[in-house]
C-alpha cells in the first residue's frame, strides 16, 4: 500500500461546513485516499513513500469550480483559450463541473446530436485530466424532443449533470419540469440558469421559473452576468432548499447582499462557488479563490466556511467522493498560505483581509500536480518534500 504523509500543518480546513476546522497537524494518505487526519504521532505513517513538511501552512480539500463551460480537451472557442483548465489547477481547483458544452461551434440541438455531444464530452473527460484536475464533463443541455429513455441512456453512458436550463431550446418551466424529474430519477444533478440573459439564445430566468422547474441548483444567483433583484434571491433562499451558486463572473454587489441574507437564514450549507467561465467576462484562473476572498472579507462568512462552500458543499450537491478531509475520500488537497506581503499571518487571515491566498502545492489522488503555483503570489511558508 502506498502512503503519503503531510505533516507540520498549521491549520486543516475540513471541507465540512458543519465542522470546518479539524484538530491536528497531519494527514495520512493511502492509495490515493484520505486515511487519517490528526496529531502526527497518532498516524500510522510507517513506510510512507513521500513525506511533505507543510512548514505550518494551511491544508484544504481541493477546490471545486462548480460552473465551468468546458468544450473538449483543454480548449474552448470562447475567448479562444487553450490551457485554461490546467491554469485553474494552479489556483487550487482540482474538480471542474461542466455547466454545459454550449460554446461548441455548431452545437447540435436535435435529440440525437444533443445526447451524442454530452456522452462524448463525459467519456472524454473521464479519460483526460488537464493539469491533473478532474472534469465532470458532458452536461446535457435540455432540448426539445428529449424523452425519458434518453435520460436513461445518458445516465448509463456516464452523463451525471443537466447543464443550465435556459441555454437550450427548453425555456419554460412547464416544458423543463418533466425532464428535470426524469434526470433526477436517473441520478443526475440539475442546474438552472438564474437571472438575465448571458449569451445569444439564452433567456431571462426568474425565481418563479426556477421554483416551478425544481432543479437541484439555482446557478449564479448573483448573476451570470446579470443578477435577479434581491427580492428574487430571497425567494430562492426562503422558499426552496436548492443549492445557491455564487460565481466570479457575476454581480459583486448582489453576491455580498445575497451572502449576508444566507447568513441570516442559516443557509450557508446550501452555498456553492464557481467561476462561470469562459465567458464574455473572460477566463480567470483564480476566480474561485477570488470569490472565497470576496465573501469572507465583505460578509459575515468566515474564511474556512467560504472554503467549505467551494469544496464539501459542492461535492455533496454533485454526489462526488471528495471535497472533505475524511477517511475514504479522494486525496485531492491544496496547501496554501498567506501570500508574501499580505497583512494576513496565514491563509485564512489573508482571505479575511481580502487577499487571494498563495497556492503552495496541489495534490490529486495523493500525487503532486502543482509543486509551485505560477498564478498566485509566493507563500510565506514553503512546503517541501523531506
The pLDDT value recorded for residue 370 is 98
Compute the residue count for the chain: 386
Question: 0.85 exceeded by the pTM?
Answer: yes
Per CATH, the number for 3-61+323-385 is 2.30.40.10
For 16-49, give one letter per residue: b (16+ CB within 10 A) or e: bbeebebebbbbbbbeebbbbbeebeebebeebe
As a whole number of Å, the end-to-end CA separation of the chain is 20
Instruction: Name which of 233, 344, 354 is nearest 291 in CA terms.
Output: 354
Q: Which residues contact 106 (CB under 8 A, 6 or more apart)?
A: none
Q: Are 75 and 130 in contact (CB under 8 A)?
A: no
Of 48, 284, 319, 362, residue with least CA distance to 160: 319
Domain ranges of the chain: 3-61+323-385, 63-317
Greatest extent of the chain over all pairs of C-alpha atoms, in Å: 60
CA distance 272 to 258: 12
Neighbour count for residue 75 (Cβ, 10 Å): 15
pLDDT at 205: 86
Tell me the C-alpha to C-alpha distance, in Å, between residue 197 and each of 206, 268, 322, 345: 11, 27, 33, 41
pLDDT per residue of the chain (386 residues) written in tens, 0 to 9: 699 999 999 999 999 999 999 999 999 999 999 999 999 999 999 999 999 999 999 999 999 999 999 999 999 999 899 999 999 999 999 999 999 999 999 999 999 999 999 999 999 999 999 999 999 999 999 999 999 999 999 999 999 999 999 889 998 999 999 999 999 999 999 999 998 765 555 567 899 999 999 999 999 999 989 999 999 999 999 999 999 999 999 999 999 999 999 999 999 999 999 999 999 898 999 999 999 999 999 999 999 999 999 999 999 999 999 999 999 999 999 999 999 999 999 999 999 999 999 999 999 999 999 999 999 999 999 999 99
pLDDT at 198: 55
Q: In angstroms, rounded to a whole number, what is the distance separating the alpha carbons of residues 65 and 45?
A: 32
Distance of CA 276 to the CA centre of its chain: 10
Fold of 63-317: TIM Barrel (3.20.20)
Nearest to 304 by CA among 361, 359, 360, 351: 351
Question: Which grid coordinates belong to 221?
Answer: 444567483
Contact 118, 151 (CB under 8 A): no
Amino acid at each position: 500500500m502506498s502512503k503519503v504523509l503531510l505533516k507540520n500543518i498549521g491549520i486543516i480546513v475540513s471541507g465540512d461546513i458543519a465542522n470546518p476546522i479539524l484538530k491536528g497537524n497531519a494527514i495520512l494518505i493511502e492509495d490515493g485516499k484520505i486515511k487519517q487526519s490528526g496529531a502526527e504521532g497518532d498516524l500510522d505513517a510507517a513506510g510512507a513513500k513521500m513525506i511533505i513538511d507543510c512548514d505550518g501552512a494551511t491544508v484544504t480539500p481541493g477546490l471545486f469550480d462548480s460552473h465551468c463551460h468546458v468544450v473538449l480537451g483543454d480548449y474552448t472557442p470562447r475567448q479562444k483559450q487553450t490551457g485554461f483548465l490546467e491554469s485553474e489547477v494552479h489556483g487550487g481547483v482540482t474538480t471542474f463541473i461542466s455547466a454545459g458544452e454550449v460554446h461548441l461551434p455548431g452545437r447540435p440541438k436535435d435529440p440525437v446530436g444533443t445526447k451524442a455531444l454530452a456522452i462524448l464530452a463525459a467519456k472524454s473527460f473521464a479519460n483526460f485530466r488537464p493539469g491533473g484536475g478532474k472534469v465532470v464533463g458532458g452536461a446535457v443541455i435540455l432540448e426539445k424532443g428529449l424523452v425519458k429513455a434518453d435520460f436513461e441512456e445518458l445516465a448509463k453512458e456516464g452523463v451525471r449533470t443537466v447543464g443550465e436550463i435556459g441555454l437550450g431550446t427548453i425555456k419554460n418551466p412547464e416544458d423543463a419540469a418533466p425532464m428535470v424529474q426524469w434526470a433526477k430519477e436517473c441520478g443526475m444533478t440539475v442546474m438552472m440558469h438564474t437571472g438575465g440573459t448571458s449569451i445569444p439564445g439564452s433567456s431571462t430566468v426568474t425565481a418563479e421559473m426556477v421554483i416551478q422547474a425544481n432543479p437541484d441548483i439555482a446557478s449564479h444567483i448573483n448573476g451570470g452576468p446579470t443578477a435577479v433583484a434581491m427580492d428574487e434571491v430571497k425567494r430562492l433562499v426562503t422558499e426552496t432548499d436548492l443549492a445557491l451558486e455564487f460565481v466570479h463572473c457575476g454581480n459583486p454587489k448582489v453576491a455580498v447582499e445575497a451572502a449576508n441574507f444566507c447568513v441570516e437564514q442559516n443557509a450557508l450549507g446550501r452555498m456553492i462557488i464557481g467561476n462561470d467561465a469562459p465567458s464574455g467576462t473572460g477566463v480567470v484562473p483564480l476566480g474561485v479563490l477570488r470569490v472565497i476572498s470576496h465573501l469572507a472579507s465583505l460578509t459575515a462568512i468566515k474564511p474556512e466556511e467560504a472554503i467549505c462552500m467551494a469544496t464539501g458543499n459542492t461535492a455533496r450537491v454533485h454526489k462526488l467522493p471528495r471535497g472533505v478531509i475524511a477517511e475514504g475520500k479522494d486525496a485531492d488537497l491544496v496547501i496554501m498560505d498567506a501570500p508574501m506581503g499580505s497583512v494576513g499571518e496565514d491563509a485564512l487571515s489573508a482571505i479575511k483581509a481580502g487577499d487571494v491566498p498563495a497556492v503552495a502545492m496541489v495534490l490529486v489522488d495523493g500525487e503532486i500536480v502543482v509543486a509551485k503555483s505560477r498564478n498566485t503570489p509566493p507563500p510565506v511558508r514553503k512546503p517541501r518534500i523531506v
